[in-house]
Chain A
C-alpha cells in the first residue's frame, strides 16, 4: 500500500477516544467501522484493495477509507447507467417520497453525523448540529421539488399552426459529482440532492480529505429505498479518478464543484464527448457554512436537465 503514510498518532481504540495506556485495557473495546465504497447499492472495498488514512483536523487518525481505482470508477458508471432507466422512470411523486425518506432516516442518525463532523473537522458541536439540520432540511427541500420542476421549467408552446406542442425537462443521465472539498456533508448534500431529485443518477467522488461523512450518508441512502446504483460514492483522489470520469463517454454531465485546480483540465476532457459541465461556483472552495442558502431554487437542477419538445398535429 504505497499510498499509506505514517500517522502522527495512533488509532483511538476505546470509548470517548481515550487512549489505551500501556499495560491497561478499556472496559469495553469500541467497534470501529470499516469505511468502504458505495456502489450499486452495496458496500464493496476498492477492487484494487487499496485504502488511505483519513485524519482529523488535528492530525489524529480517524479511519482508513477505500482508495477507489479507475476500475471502480468505470464500474460505478456502469452501475449508475443500469439504474438510470428505473430511477428516471419512477413517478415524480415516488422520487419525492424517497427523498423525504432520506431526510427521515438522516434525522434519526443526527448524532452520528454530528460526531463525524466534530471529529473530522474539529467543528464545535453546536455548529455541527446546525450543519446536520441544514443537510436534513436540504433533502426535504428537494423532495418537494421532484414533482414541481417540470411545471416550472417546462410548458406549452403556442406555435403558429395546428399543432399541440409541449416542452418538458428530462434528466440528462449519469452525472459525475465531484463533491465540495471542504464541505463534506451539507455541501455534498447540496450538490447531490438536486441531481437525483430530477431523475438523474450520480457517481460521487467524495471530499478527498474528509470522505467519511459521504459514506455515512451512503448508509442512509441504502436504507431509504433509494434503488441501488442511483447514487454511487467513491472515496479517493480526485486527481486519479477525475480525469478518467471526465473523459468517460458514458457520463452525461460533470459537476466540477470539488475539482479544485483540475477544473479546467476536466472541462477540456469533457468537451470530447460534449459532456455537460457545471463549473465550480463561488461556494465551491468554502466550508459547510458556504452552503447554508435554504432556497437555491432551480439553479442546481437545470444544468443536469435536457428539454424535450414534442409536436403533434391537431385535426379531426
Chain B
C-alpha cells in the first residue's frame, strides 16, 4: 500500500504584485529614462509575474549621484550606532514580511518554498541583524583604529539566491557607512524591489540604497561607472574576468564570488546514510543552482558499489514539482536559457560515453524542469567533471587513496567549496588542510551563516563575504 502526498501549496495571497516596477533611486520608484521594460516570469509555469524597468547609462548616473550625495551628506556622517539601528530595523521588517518574501522568491526563482521559507529568508534577516551590530564596533574589527567607508558600492548579484545575495552585499556595505547601487539579476528582480519598499518602510534616508533592474548591459554600465568606489559581483567566472579587467587601472576595490566545481569526498569509513543525505543535499539543494554545490562526488572505490544504489534510491524519493508545494524538494530551473545550458552540458556526457541515470520522475508540462541526474564512469577529462553545470547533475568519480582524493578534488581551476565524509577526525582534518577551497564542509554540506566567511580560492574569485572578514571589502 502506498500513500500519496496530497498537494500542500503555500498560499499566494500574502503577496500583492504590481503590474510594473520602476527603478528605486534616491528613495523613490522612478521610470527608466528609456521607458524600456523586461518581463519576469515564473519559471514553474512560464506565466508573466511583472514588468520591470531596464536601467540604462543615464539611470546609472542618477543612481550613483544619489548614492554619493547620501554617502557624503547623511550616511557616512551618521554615528555607527544610529546606522546600526537602521539595519536592525531592516532585519526586523524582513522577519515580519518573511512569508511574503518567501512566496515571492519562490514564484520568481522557481526554488521550493521549503527552501525560501526555511533557508533563504531567515538567513537574509540574520545577515542584516549580524552586520547591524558591527556598525558601531568597526574600530574593533582588526582593520585599524579608524576604518573608513570606501564611498559608493556598485553591486551586481545573481539569480540563484536573489534576496540572500542582496543581503550579503547590502548589509556589510551599509554597516560600514557605504551607500549602494545594486542590480539584481534579470530573471529574479522582484524580491529586491520589495526590499526597496522595506527601505522606505524603515525610513532609510533616500539614496542610501538604490536598486537598478535590467540585464547584462545595465550591470556593465554600473560596474564600469567612474563614480563607484567599490565593485562587488557574484556570478559567473566569465563575467568576473571581464569585471576584473575593467577595474584594472582604477582606484576601485573589487570582490568577486564566482563559479565552482565542488568535490564531495566520501571515504570508506564514512557514516553512509549521512553521507548519502549530504551528497544529495550537496548537489540537489536549490536545483543545483549553487556556486558551491558538491557537483563532483569522489567516492572511495571500495564502497562505490554499495553507495551508488543507496544514493539512487534516495534520489528516487525526491519530489519534483510545484515549487509552492510545501513537500517539494526540487523546483524549477530558473530560466529557459539555464535549462538549455544544463541540457547541453549534460549531453556532452552522452557523447563522451559517460553513463547517465535520472530519477524516474514526471516533469510538469509547462515551465523549465530537469530531473535529478547522476553521471557515473566520469573521468577528470570529461567536460562534466570540469565545467560548472549549475543544475541538478552529479558527476561521480572514484579514488583509491586519500592522496588521490585530494589531488582529484583540487584538479580544477575553481576553489570555492569541498566536502569530506569520514568518521575519523584526523583524516578529516588532514583532508581539509589540503583542499584548496574557501569552504570545507565535513560531515555536512551547504551550510551558511552570517558569521561564517564565504568565498573562493583560484578562479572562484577573491574576497570574503560574511563574518568579520566580510567587513574588509568595504573599509579603507
- Give the B-binding residues of A (Cβ under 8 A): 152-153, 155, 157-161, 163, 165, 167, 172, 252, 263-264, 267-268, 270-274, 276-277, 302, 306-313
Contacts and interface: CB of A to CB of B under 8 A. Distances in A.
A56 B48 CA distance: 74
Q: Which 8 A-B pairs rank lowest in CB-CB distance, beginning with the nearest?
A: A271-B244, A264-B249, A267-B248, A159-B449, A271-B245, A268-B248, A157-B451, A157-B452
A158 B248 CA distance: 36
Interface in B248-296: 248-249, 256, 258
A5 to B, nearest CB: 32
Contacts of A167: 452-453, 467, 469
A309 B416 CA distance: 10
Contacts, number: 100
B312 to A, nearest CB: 25
B447 interface: yes
Contacts of B432: 308, 310
Contacts of A155: 468
B469 A313 contact: no
B457 A158 contact: no
Nearest to A267: B248
B69 interface: no
Given A271-B248, A312-B443, 7 more contacts: A157-B452, A270-B244, A270-B248, A272-B245, A273-B413, A310-B439, A313-B443
Nearest to B419: A311
9 contacts: A167-B469, A267-B244, A268-B245, A271-B241, A273-B459, A276-B462, A309-B438, A311-B439, A313-B444
Contacts of A273: 413, 459
A307 B469 contact: yes
Given A268-B248, A311-B441, A312-B443, A157 B449 contact: yes
Interface string B460-476: 11101001110010000
Nearest to B455: A307
B163 to A, nearest CB: 18
B377 interface: no
B209 to A, nearest CB: 25
A157 B248 contact: no
A288 B444 CA distance: 51
Contacts of B453: 157, 167, 307, 309
A158 to B, nearest CB: 5
B193 to A, nearest CB: 28
B449 A161 contact: yes
Contacts of B458: 252, 274
Given A264-B249, A307-B453, A310-B432, A274 B441 contact: no
B452 A159 contact: yes
B256 A274 contact: yes
Given A271-B244, A271-B248, A311 B440 contact: yes
B142 A165 contact: no
B249 A310 contact: no
Contact of B142 (A152, A160, A161, A172): A152
A160 B248 contact: no
B54 interface: no
A159 B451 contact: yes
Nearest to A271: B244
Contacts of B240: 274
B428 interface: yes
B40 interface: no
Nearest to B460: A274
Contact of B438 (A158, A271, A306): A306
B224 to A, nearest CB: 14
